Structure 1
Amino acid sequence: MNFSKYLRFAVVGACALASCKGGPPTATKPGKYSSTTGLEYNTEEGMRVADYKGIPEGPGLIFIEGGRTVLGSQEEDVTMTHDNIERTVTIASFYMDEAEVANIHWLEYLHYARKDSSEEFYQSALPDTTVWARELSFNDPYVDYYLRYPGFRYFPVVGVSWLQANDYCTWRTAKVNERLAGEGDEGGSTKKKGGLFGRKKKGDAAEGTADADTGDGKVKISIENGNTLPNYRLPTEAEWEYAAQSLIGTQEAGNENQENKRIYPWDGRQVRNPYGKGMGTFLANFKRGRGDYAGIAGSLNDGAMITEYIYAYPPNDYGLYNMAGNVNEWVQDIYRPLSFDDVEDLNPFRRNGYLDPAEKYDKKGYQSLIDDHVRVYKGGSWRDVAYWLSPGTRRFMAEDSATAAIGFRCAMINAGSNK
């Protein structure tokens, strides 16, 4: 290497290491050269570093700023299960649907399932509408009308099992990323850009970060490109409970102490609105007492005999609707009574196959309902009393079962950022 070439390389390397202009390199501004080797990116032999402007905006999602909190029951353990002992944990920031997945969203899913998938899969995606049927109650009209009648479009989908909810998350991820891949840089153009379902271009990207050819002329996008969303998924139990608490609304700027707790996703011990024009109205859709689902005609309490509009009732301090009442919601976790003792204190999550094995529970002898196929659901519903509205309460059901009182919402990691 002659001296002038060496000097030029040294200058380039020094500039790269010192980030000559604009400060240190960042994820969105990595610079033209490597800050460790001085080698140039995006050349014929160099590593490809794709343009990245941050995580794309996911439809329907609200940002949930993470932090330290105390999870567990804030009320007397009236069920005597002792499965929600208080403990301090930290939850990383994430995204969550602002409202429950509604009938119209599920009908959209069924539309594309029938169009793009096998008849067998379409049949497996159908909700169990017979969850409304009761032998000693005339709920028969809901069996036929609740899912498909236009008036119920924005009521939460029910009759969906945990397994079906997971399939929906997978489909939603693919469909949203397909849309993002088809959008142009400006003006909402639908011109293909070689995204998730686009076609590979010649000489596009260096080996190791290129979009991989799947063999059918389509492209599986590389994570390194950063132009697709992370997976939609069910929230973990800890994420769900943290988001429901919404204690961000109780914190004062600069105060590191959590001086307030909440029994419900709102302030106070009451279930009625204590302020303003809405004073006295109920803050959630739940069963007030035996036989009282909605109140007296002319002076209804919550007015909802069954489920209600997914944007009814005031949102919590994160902007999330119906984190108490309306329908219970599936979360990712497998159920174990000792989850709060066993799981870690950073992003706690109970998965299959670790500690507290199913063999300890006598399901065959009918002494327990617990195995590796029961999942947690939370939040209370139109059919539950106020006790179950508290975010710390928890129940479980088989992952392939469904009821008229359980729905779900999706969550997503906040990739590449702590804020």
Structure 2
Amino acid sequence: MKFSPTISLLAMGALALASCNSSKQGTATNPGKESSTTGLEYNTDEGMKVSSFKKIPTGPGLVYIEGGRTVLGTMEEDVTNTHDNMERTVTIASFYMDEAEVANIHWLEYLHYLRKDSTEEQYKAALPDTAVWARDLSFNDPYVTYYLRYPGFRYFPVVGVNWLQADRYCTWRTAKVNENLGKTGGSTKGGGLFGKKKKKGDDAAAAGSAEGATAGALADGKGGPSIEQGTSLPNYRLPTEAEWEYAAQALVGTQEVGNENQEVKRIYPWDGRSTRNAYGKKQGQFLANFKRGRGDYAGIAGSLNDGAMITDYVYAYPPNDYGLYNMAGNVNEWVQDVYRPLSFQDVEDLNPFRRNGVGDPDSKYDKKGYQSLIDDHVRVYKGGSWRDVAYYLSPGTRRFMAEDSATATIGFRCAMINAGSNK
């Protein structure tokens, strides 16, 4: 076969043209100096401002949850006979979630800044209901006084917080973290909620006009980072029920590389059918804080099982394969969703979420006639608590409560979208 100079020159020209075209293909981190559709230059007096961008900074306290396909639903026998979380295949987009529950010290920080920057009404509205510890036939009185504020309880999960209060905290945290990003040039400190602590042991606008002013500043870039600059974080928020359940399953720890089948399921956020550690030096120790049986909250002196009569340190017990602590036990956790018994068949199969009663209006439920507790103001909570038996530790179990109610067994953690990604 003879060498053809003509063919060689044509090939070289094609490669050069392809190289030239590819160099003009903008990306998020390298959009180029001019528009690929109009040819107009960026960042001139008349041109559009296009900020440099590397990637969105990771918010304080968050860990990355890689999304994917999974089967949500009850893995255990439906002993409550509610049939409200049947198995179904869904896809969850990647997101971020707090590695641990929001603790008392974080809520006290919130209260500090509310008292400093907001009205007395807003401060009082954010106070947890410490009376949730009070029981007529139990001497829990010390927890009413000491649980929230005593230093020894600093890194125990905040309780007595209703869904509405938790939602407002997420709004405040977003504003405060972005305000701090503006001061530090876009850098954040990783690890833990506002800095992870290894030992046991409140912000600009949380609501109302101050919150609105901060949000406006962030939107237009005056007084803080804007969305277009890529230096502000998306909203902290409560996770959706599907996100929470997916993160609790942590099936990423069971997958073999290149295997498209999900051959291993989990009843709890860890392997096996037992609530005890099956491996290593901690073999036989409990993997979560829960009620073992009637009257047994912690075992016997000298041989305590989970070691906690009530709540425990938010970093107690081994994390799951996403690095999340206490996704079973310690406290139940609020999620975003409005409760409906048939959400599993109503919601979509990509990022499922029920924000209201669309398709299943609350008029179908006779709450006024005391035949139902369901309306558009009851929210789902998940995970089991120090006061629950092992059945509720399974990620698929779900319960609900009025959004303005609180107990000593429900806390929360925040989540955030994986902005700028289709994964």
- TM-score, length-normalised on structure 1? 0.88
Partner SS, residue 29 of structure 2: coil
Q: Which residue of 1 aligns with 2:214?
A: none
Whole-angstrom CA distance in 2 between matches of 1:409 and 1:141: 25
Residue 265 of structure 2, aligned match among 261, 276, 282: 261
Residue 18 of structure 1, aligned match among 21, 25, 30: 21
RMSD: 2.0
1:406 aligns with 2:410: yes
Gaps of 5+ in 2: 1-16, 190-203, 206-217
1:82 aligns with 2:79: no
- Deviation sequence 1:34-53 (CA, Å, 0-9, x none): 12222211111111111111
Name the aligned partner's letter for residue 124 of structure 1.
A
1:353 CA drift (Å): 3.8
Within 5 Å, which residues of 2 pair with 1:2-401?
18-20=21-23, 24-184=25-185, 212=220, 219=223, 221-401=225-405
1:223 CA drift (Å): 1.6
Q: Is the 8 A contact 1:60 1:97 kept in 2?
A: yes
1:122 CA drift (Å): 0.0
Whole-angstrom CA distance in 2 between matches of 1:369 and 1:282: 35
Partner SS, residue 395 of structure 2: coil
Identity %: 80
1:19 CA drift (Å): 4.4
Q: Is the 8 A contact 1:16 1:35 kept in 2?
A: no
Note closer, same or farther for the CA distance 1:187–1:347 as it changes in structure 2 (3 Å cut). Answer: closer
Whole-angstrom CA distance in 2 between matches of 1:187 and 1:103: 22
Note closer, same or farther for the CA distance 1:30–1:254 as it changes in structure 2 (3 Å cut). Answer: same
Query: 4+ residue runs of structure 1 moved beyond 4 angstroms?
Result: 14-17, 185-188
Note closer, same or farther for the CA distance 1:411–1:185 as it changes in structure 2 (3 Å cut). Answer: closer
Partner SS, residue 228 of structure 2: helix
1:225 CA drift (Å): 1.2
Gaps of 5+ in 1: 1-13, 189-195, 198-209
Aligned length: 381
- Deviation sequence 1:336-377 (CA, Å, 0-9, x none): 001001000000000114111101111111111001100000
- TM-score, length-normalised on structure 2? 0.87
Whole-angstrom CA distance in 2 between matches of 1:394 and 1:106: 25
Partner SS, residue 224 of structure 1: coil
Name the aligned partner's letter for residue 220 of structure 2.
A
1:77 CA drift (Å): 0.4
